[in-house]
Structure formats: C-alpha cells, structure tokens
Structure 1
Amino acid sequence: MTLNTVIDLTQKISAVLSIFLNCFLTFLIICKSPKQLGSYKYLMLYISWFEIIYSILDVITSPVMFSHGSILVSIVYIKNSKIADWVALILNSVYCSFCGISMGMFGINFIYRYFVSTGSKYLKTFNGFKIIFWMMIPVVYGLIWGFIAYVILGPSKEIDEQLSEPLMLTFGWEIQDISYVGAYFYQIQSDGSLIIDYKSVVSVSITFAIVFSSFLVMCFCGIRCYIKINTLLNITNKHNFSTQSKNLQSQLFYALVTQTIIPVILMHFPVSTVFVFTFLDKDLGFLSGITSITIALFPALDPIPAMFIIKSYRKSIFGFFKITKVKSIQIPRN
C-alpha cells in the first residue's frame, strides 16, 4: 500500500470511530453526568462536537502533510474530486484553522481543572455565559492559524518548481493535481544562492508558538493540579469537599492526563518535529506524511479516556453491555 492510500484509509476509519464515540460521549455527558461536574460538562460537549466536525472535515479534505528540505506543505489531492482549486484552498486553510483550535482547547481544559483544584476565584468566569469567553480563545487561535495559511502561505511558483519531482516520487502526483498551503524557508535562486523567505519564517514561528504555548499551559496547570489533588485526597479532614467530590476531581484529573498524553503524542510532538526539521532544512520526505496519520487518529482516541475513567460514565457503559448480554441469552417461555 502506498503512503497516500494508508493516510486516506486511516482518515476514513478514524472519522467513523470519532463520530460514533463522540456522539456516544455526548449522550453520556448530557444524560449521565454527576451534578458535581458543573460547568465542566459544557467544555466536554464543546470538545466532543468540535471533534465530530473536525473528523468530517478531515474526510472531506484528506490533507497530507509533506516536507521536502525547507518546504512544508499541507496538500489536498483534487484530481479525482469535483472540488475546485479555490474551494480546496479554503478547505485546507479551514483544516489548518481547526488544528489551531485544537491546540487552544487543550490549554483551556487544563486551566479549568487548575481553577477547580486550587479553588481559584477565577473559576466563576466559567459560569453562565462567561464560559463563552473561554471558548472563544481556541477560536482566536484557529483564526490566526487559518489566516496565515490562506493569506500568507498560499501556493507559489517557487514551491511548485521544487515540489514537482519529490511529489511524483513519493505519491505519484503531478503538481497540477493538488492544492496546498505551505512555507518555503530557504529559497533556491537561479544562480544557486539561497534567500530566506521571512514571511514563511514569521508565519510558521507564530503557528509553532501556538503549539508551544498550548504545551506550556498544559504542563504548568497539570503539575499544579496533580499536587493539589493529591493534597486534597491525603488530607481530607482539612477541606470542605466531600469524599465523593474529591473522588470525582481525581477521576477528572486522570481523565485529563490521559487525554493529554494522546494529543501530545499524536499532535504536539509530530507537528513540532516537522516544523523544527523543516526550519533546519532537514528533509523528512514521506516520514512527514505520518503526521497526517497521527492527527487523524486523535479525535477517534480522545473521547475514550473520559468514557472509562469517569465512574458514572463507566458504570453506564458496563450497565448497557450487561443489559444487552442478559437480553441476548433470554430463553422465550412457552
């Protein structure tokens, strides 16, 4: 199987799983959430619905990340589709925007858990309509990333010239059969000299800063949450929280930790690696395509930790399968 076939197959399978699991998690959040969950359930719904839309967009665009030397592009293959080139460019930019939104959501998730575990006065900013402010932060991240992709990093003849051969060797695609957005850091001139394309450097630096800021927020808030929750669990008599509330906070934290490992491995690390190698003019070639696979897997795997770590959700799932099993072995009476 060729790399583009593996990527396409992974994206389709992951999308189906993501839509099913996130819809099921939505049901659990709405119908089976404990009262102590509070405003956090709205964040969980926000993330689940986002991941459903993200998966649908992933199938429609089937983007492929590709790196060649100091060139990094997100490619949409349009030869066998009815999508016009300008539509593909917009969809590709929207897809990049969704990558930015996902980075912002990771940070907001951890900030909320940090406020809860520390009893911060700022926790009230997540109540009522105020939570919309927090939900808009990832949107701003996404708008910045999407704007950069569409306005600054659109197709160019310089990238066309350099990508034609490696694109054919790696995927068997002609340059006219694709739509892409991308950066070209060190451009080769006709006399063999190199010039730095500062718009590419600045643009990718901004997107990398979005990835890095998300990672830093998760690390800072995650460590503080871990320390605080352990304190609450070990010194129960000195706090006003009930044992049930403390156990819930512990469940939410470990769900969050698990949900963080998934994006770090599938999104933060691969995307950062491709950015750094391209900036250093190191050719990753087909290996950069693996990033498309890991990003596609993210929305399919992300809902699983919450479904099984949060006790009320886990009991509902096990109860459903128990009922199903009992019904399947019932013997009809004469």
Structure 2
Amino acid sequence: MSNFVQNRIQDISATISVLLNIILIFLILTKSPKKLGSYKYLMLYISLFEILYSILDVVVSPVIISKGSACLVISYIKNSMLSQTINIVLHTSYCGSFGTSMGIFALHFIYRYLTATGSKYISTFESWKMICWMLIPITYGIIWGLIGYTFIGPNAYTNDFMKNDIEYVFGWDIRDTIYIGPHFYKTDSLNFTWIDKNAFIAAGGMCIILLSSIITILYFGVKCYKSINNMVKDRVSTSSSNFKNVQTQLFYALVIQTIIPVLFLHIPVSVIFICTFLELNIGLFGGIVTISIALFPAIDPLPTMFIIKIYRDAIIGYVRSFLHYTKIFPNKNCAIQSISNHPKDISTPNS
C-alpha cells in the first residue's frame, strides 16, 4: 500500500474523528442528565484525547515498515517546518499516545464497574481524586514514549540495516527520518547473531502495559456484565422497565467499546510484536495496522452517540430539523420535539 494512500486515509480519518468528537463533546455538555455525574468529565477526557491523538496522527504521518526482526514506526521530516527536536517530541508523543489509550480503556472499565456495583470507591471520581485517576493514562503514555525513545530509538546499526529498504519502499533518505521500533536480533560482519537487550527491555515494558490494559478490560468488563444482569433480574416489576432499558444501553455500549479497541489496537499491535520477534515479515500488514490505528478515534465515538438514547434522540432531532429548514424534507410533522422536552430516561451513567 503506497504511502500516499495511507496518508490520505489518515487525513480523512483524523478529520472524521475531530468532527465526531466535537459533536460528542457538544452532546455531553448540553444533553447529559445531571445524574450522569462525574462520568461526563471522563467522557470529555476521552473525546479530547482522541482529538489530540488524531491531530498528532496527521502531523507525524507515521508509517510502519519491517524487515527481519526489525519493525519501525517511522516519519519523514525533511519537508517539515518544525525543528528536529520538536519532531522527535511529537513522534515520541504519538507513540506514547498508544500507551495512553491503553490506560484510558482500563480506566473506562474500572469506572463502569464501580458505578454498576455502587462501590464506595466511586466517590473518588467525584472529588479532586478524579485528577489522580486521569493521570494514570497519561503516566502510561509517558512510560511508553520514554521506553520507546530510550531503548528502541534511532541508532547506527538499525540505520544501516534499514536504509536501503526505506529508500526502496518510500524513496526516503533515512537521515531525513525519525523512527521508534524494536530490532530484536542483530548480525555482525562475521554473521554472528546476538540478541539486542534494549529491544527486549522495551518490548517487555510495552507488553506489560498492553497486558495490564487487556486484563483490566476483561476482568472489570465481565464483573460489570454480571452485576448488571443481577440488578436487572432483581427488578422484575413493570416500574423497573426504564431501569432495564438503561442497563441494556449500558451493556451494548460496553460490549462495542470493548470490541473496537481490541480489533483496531490490541490485536494489530500484538500481531506486529509477535511477527517481529519471530522474524516474520509483515509486508502489507504494516500499512493495514497504520490505517487501523488511524481509524480507531474516528469509530470510537459512535457507540456513545448512537447507543445511548438521549444522545441518539438529540442527533436525530438535529438532522430532522436541518432537513426541514433546508426544505430537503419539508414535512412539518417530521420536526420532533426539542430534546429538552424529551423524558430523561437515564438514571445512571451509561455511556
């Protein structure tokens, strides 16, 4: 897949991501019921991160290239108006943002579980302590970025090993690039192969972050699902139908928001690590992963926007009003009531 095609897809994905997340931020600020509580700020935090992530993706324009036991996330900076130092910071921040996203997923599911079970610890999200919770993903990102730049950043051996392939595939001089990526096994002029300990240290640290996110999502996701099921079973009266609807919305949003990062982030990155470790050339898969990572922030807002009823109704209302006032759909009956008059059927945080 050509670099031009990848960049255009990244640009389009970033534009969609910024637009959708701005719309979601507007809905969160204007349509969220008061009972949503501090979860509103967590959703805003996630949306703002995804906007920043998308902007970084466009500015850095990373691509993935592999050869043998080396796999690099690389950016071309020759035509950049920014200094090399700033480009290094941006590239490292982009790589670190993947670690931040891992922390955000974990935090998201921890909050969901505490809310569903009515845990006393949910109060820690309703005070200044929420800042401490939000610092966890940022810490994940800083650690990921520092590990990458310190242990698997540019070095003379990898430059010599990859320069011909980079020039052949992209037409770039490696001196005009910035990259981060492991090179597990190295060979000298006598064909003696040794293990690069820095690559294994970096891979170990990143795998710990990745696995901690996956384990947290699975553990709290399953416990949250069981808790919701138990609560719904306990409320069998007809008056609890609204409660059941709310919990169903929460469950579907939870499931989809688990599938999205697993499919677009966890699995692709895990496959790259495994293939590189086993010296399996990923070929076109590197381009697919680059696009997959870029698509994630453009898709992630959709479950919240369309599964959560109060947000979905607001979007439908705005679309119908737009069609009515632009005479595309002039039937006056299609204009629905203002969402502010719509009964608020959300009694618990449920994005």
**Structure 1 length as normaliser, TM-score?**
0.93
Distance 1:311 1:297 in 2: 24
**What is aligned with 2:181?**
182
Q: What is the Cα deviation at residue 328 of structure 1?
A: 2.5
Tell whether 2:224 aligns with 1:234.
no
What is the DSSP-based 3-state SS (H/G/I as helix, E as strand, rest coil) of the residue aligned with 1:324? helix
- The CA RMSD over aligned residues, in Å, is 1.8
Aligned twin of 2:28: 29
Q: Per the alignment, in what secondary structure is the counterpart of residue 181 of structure 2?
A: strand
Gaps of 5+ in 1: none
Query: What is the correspondence of 1:292-311 to structure 2 with a 5 Å cutoff?
Result: 292-311=290-309
Q: Which amino acid aligns with 1:58?
A: D
| Range moving further from structure 2, 82-91 or 12-21 | 82-91
Equivalent residues in 2 for 1:69-218, closer than 5 Å: 69-218=68-217
Q: Which amino acid aligns with 1:186?
A: Y
Contact 1:89 1:181 in 2 (8 A): no
- Tell me what 2:5 maps to: 6
Q: Give, in whole Å, the separation in 1 of the partners of 2:109 and 2:117.
A: 12
Q: Deviations over 1:232-282 (max 9, x none)?
A: 2222059xx965445334323321221221111111010111011111222
Residue type of the partner of 1:115? L
Paired letter, 1:136: L
Q: Which amino acid aligns with 1:164?
A: K
Q: Quick one: distance in 2 between partners of 1:170 and 1:253?
A: 45
Give the letter for the 1:92 counterpart: H
Do the aligned partners of 1:255 and 1:306 also contact (CA within 8 Å) in 2? yes
Asked if the contact 1:26/1:48 (under 8 Å) is kept, the reply is yes
C-alpha distance in 2 between matches for 1:73 and 1:328: 50
Q: Find 2:246's aligned residue among 245, 248, 259.
A: 248
C-alpha distance in 1, partners of 2:55/2:8? 14
Q: Which residue of 2 aligns with 1:285?
A: 283
Query: 2 CA distance for matches of 1:288 and 1:274?
Result: 8
Distance 2:100 2:242 in 1: 33
SS of 1:179's equivalent in the other structure is strand
Does the 8 Å contact 2:182/2:203 carry over to 1? yes
SS of 1:183's partner is coil
Deviations 1:267-299 (A, max 9, x none): 101011101111122221332222111010011
Residue of structure 1 in register with 2:55 after alignment: 56
> Matched residue of 1:81: which SS?
coil
Equivalent AA in structure 2 for residue 83 of structure 1:
L
Structure-1 separation of matches of 2:193 and 2:284: 24
User: What amino acid sits opposite 1:187 in the alignment?
Assistant: K
Alignment match of 1:267 (pick from 265, 268, 272): 265
Q: How many Å apart are 1:134 and its aligned residue?
A: 1.0
Give distance in 1, aligned partners of 2:193 and 2:273.
Answer: 19
Q: Confirm or deny: 8 A CA contact 2:151 2:201 kept in the other structure.
A: no
CA contact (8 A) 1:153 1:182 kept: yes
Mapped contact 1:113–1:253 kept (Cα < 8 A): no
Residue 328 of structure 1 corresponds to 326
User: Which shifted more, 320-329 or 157-166?
Assistant: 320-329
TM-fit CA distance, 1:51: 0.5
Moved over 4 A (4+): none
Q: Secondary structure at the match of 1:219?
A: helix
Kindly provide the CA deviation profile for residues 44-82 of structure 1, in whole angstroms up to 9, marking residues without a partner as x.
000000111111111110111222111121101112323
- Structure-2 separation of matches of 1:272 and 1:205: 12
1:201-238 Cα deviation digits (max 9, x unpaired): 01111112211111111111111111221222222059
Larger displacement relative to structure 2 (89-98 or 102-111):
89-98
Structure 1 residues 111-147: Cα deviation after superposition (integer angstroms, max 9, x where no partner): 1111111222211111121111111110110110111
> Matched residue pairs, number?
328
CA distance in 2, matches of 1:210, 1:308: 30
